[in-house]
A and B are shown apart, each in its own frame.
Chain A
């Protein structure tokens, strides 16, 4: 399996522009997670989906952020309008529903977003 795939790997944009980050989870995984990582705050969970349905979006910082999962193999995280404080590395992760034990999450390579 190719693992979790994210695109683009790097994104540089200007304040006020719309940004769309993309993720393809590992085939067969039930859960998809979007995280943001910064030096100051570490890894923060933004939202997660179960079987394409958003379950918990309490980590989404504000209404400028939205996420969708139209099918089991694709998800997007959109920021509109973007602001300099949104600059961070955004990770997508996926996992199986555990039949026993805990469900390990597998991460993609991340998208480094810079908002000027």
Chain B
């Protein structure tokens, strides 16, 4: 059974204080690992897809990296508008359709 565990559950940062979120996964053959951002009262918003170990992707102050067992979402010099819940999900190579298995998320609060 595919499993995704995210840590920490919550993270409080000062504006400008860089940090990393962790997503550990077990999957029988990874097709893709996804990062989403979710703001309160909204649906998850797609950020990145990573396909293979060593791959990195960046978007503004966010950088996602992937190893064979985990992914990190690095937030560099965060701003208050980066406050959100960040969700990680995996898709197995043999998953029917485009099914995703989600982690529990990390709630990030960036204080000015």
Contact = CB atoms under 8 A, between A and B. Distances in A.
A108 B43 contact: yes
Given A33-B98, A106-B46, A107-B43, 9 more contacts: A42-B105, A45-B100, A48-B99, A55-B97, A56-B97, A98-B98, A102-B32, A104-B98, A107-B36
A39 B49 CA distance: 25
B91 A103 contact: yes
A72 to B, nearest CB: 16
A116 B14 CA distance: 40
- Listed from nearest, the 10 A-B pairs whose CB atoms lie closest are A102-B32, A107-B43, A103-B98, A43-B102, A95-B98, A102-B31, A107-B44, A42-B104, A102-B91, A109-B43
Interface string B61-97: 0000000000000000000000000010001000011
B59 interface: no
B93 to A, nearest CB: 9
Interface of A: 4, 31, 33, 42-43, 45, 48, 50, 55-56, 91, 93, 95, 97-98, 101-110, 112
Interface residues of B, number: 23
A5 to B, nearest CB: 11
A113 B105 CA distance: 21
B97 to A, nearest CB: 6
A62 B43 CA distance: 24
A108 B44 CA distance: 8
Given A102-B34, A109-B42, A109-B43, A43 B87 contact: yes
Residue among A4, A55, A98, A105 with most chain B CB within 10 A: A105
A91 B102 contact: no
Nearest to A110: B43
B46 A105 contact: yes
B91 A48 contact: no
A62 B42 CA distance: 26
A91 B46 CA distance: 14
